[in-house]
A and B are shown apart, each in its own frame.
Chain A
Amino acid sequence: DTAVSQTPKYLVTQMGNDKSIKCEQNLGHDTMYWYKQDSKKFLKIMFSYNNKELIINETVPNRFSPKSPDKAHLNLHINSLELGDSAVYFCASSQARGLLRGYTFGSGTRLTVV
């Protein structure tokens, strides 16, 4: 049973395209996150949803739009992809703001924009 699953695992696409990455968690957590890991391995939070409500929206281009249809899903849609969007995107989830067990991360989606 995969706790936090992301699809696709790899995504190669051309500049200017629109793409989506999906994330689902079966842990019953109430909060989900998107993190971006750049080529230097630096991890930066992008968005967070708690019970389908957006609670963290860091300085991210508005080409990036998260959507949470329910507590178990948080998808990331990216419009007009640029070369600089190439990175690994990690979805994560937590319960009670991560106070008890920390965060559980998905296996990542490696996005390559060519």
Chain B
Amino acid sequence: AQSVSQHNHHVILSEAASLELGCNYSYGGTVNLFWYVQYPGQHLQLLLKYFSGDPLVKGIKGFEAEFIKSKFSFNLRKPSVQWSDTAEYFCAVKNDYKLSFGAGTTVTVRA
């Protein structure tokens, strides 16, 4: 069974700091990788996705993620966070019809 691990449960940082959230998955076949964001009280929104090609993927709101196949990782980064980036971030891995989520990382950005 595949699983998705997010290393950080809660990250607290100041505005303008850099952010990196770790994500590892345990499936050896072809996978599609996603990062979703859930702002307080809202539904999940797609930040970025990787299917194939360039392993460095750029998404919305200045986020990017790097797929490292040898490490089964898909870490999310943002060079300079804003207060509005406070949210829950979910890594997700898809094979066939099933999209499996990590446990999520709560990011709190202090002004």
Interface residues of A (CB under 8 A from B): 31, 33, 35, 40-45, 48, 50, 55-56, 90, 92, 97-99, 101-108
Interface residues of B (CB under 8 A from A): 32, 34, 36, 38, 42-46, 49, 51, 88, 90, 94, 96-101, 103-104, 106
A-B contact pairs, 23 of them (CB 8 A): A33-B99, A40-B103, A41-B104, A42-B101, A43-B101, A45-B99, A48-B97, A48-B98, A50-B97, A56-B98, A90-B43, A90-B44, A97-B94, A97-B97, A98-B32, A98-B99, A99-B32, A99-B51, A102-B46, A103-B34, A103-B99, A105-B43, A105-B44
Determine the distance from Cα of A40 to Cα of B106 in the docked complex, in whole angstroms: 11
- Distance (Å) between the CB of B6 and the closest chain A CB? 11
A90 CB contacts on chain B under 8 angstroms: 43-44
Tell me the total A-B contact number using a CB cutoff of 8 A.
54
A44 CB contacts on chain B under 8 angstroms: 101
- Distance (Å) between the CB of A15 and the closest chain B CB? 26
Determine the distance from Cα of A92 to Cα of B98 in the docked complex, in whole angstroms: 12
A101 CB contacts on chain B under 8 angstroms: 46
Within 8 Å by CB of B43, from A48, A97, A98, A106, lies: A106
